[in-house]
Amino acid sequence: MALTKSIKFHAGKVKYDEETNRCTPLPYKGVISIKPSTEEPDFLDFIWTPKQQDQTQQINGSQQIEKDELLLIPGDVSIKIIKSCNTGRVFSFTFSSSGAKYLYWLQDIGDIDNLSKFTEKDNKLIQQINTLISTENDGLDEDKQ
């Protein structure tokens, strides 16, 4: 499925601690944009940008918030809902070629009573992204979720 226009949604970054296996949502707002790559039509440009008021904030007093710029190559990247996280709606992008993993939490209003419950809108968004990054023979594998 070719992407003809960009997908944009509100999401924040998540810090993952490998020693404790804990996800910690970072306390600033951001926007994810996924659009066709300007350099390679079969690839997608992924950009996470902090919202304007957060761009001047500092993390730990010394580090500026940097945007994430990734190239999504269908078949090399997968998206996965992190079901074990019960403090927010967290998902990850994992790159098979490098093993790199990027985690984000959805910031659009969901089910206030259950912070970890993905809404119908969330599920449609995840499915839409999965369709874009999967090769034609791939499907959403429930065992991997």
Q: How do residues 42-98 score in pLDDT, each as one tens digit?
A: 899 999 999 865 444 555 454 577 899 999 999 999 999 988 887 789 999 999 999
Q: Residue 105: count other Cβ atoms within 10 Å of its Cβ.
A: 22
Pairwise pLDDT comparison (118 vs 113), residue with the higher score: 118
Highest CATH level, class, for 7-132: mainly beta
Average pLDDT over residues 39-43: 88
Domain residue limits, the chain: 7-132
Give Cα separations from 16 to 33, 51, 82, 105, 118 (angstroms).
22, 21, 12, 12, 20
Rg (CA), the chain: 15
* Amino acid of residue 105: W
Specify the pLDDT at position 10.
93
Contact 7, 129 (CB under 8 A): yes
* pTM, rounded to two decimals: 0.79
As a whole number, the mean pLDDT across the chain is: 82
First to last CA, the chain: 21
Q: Residue 105 above 80 pLDDT?
A: yes
Kind of pairing, strands 63-64 and 58-59? antiparallel
Specify the pLDDT at position 11.
94
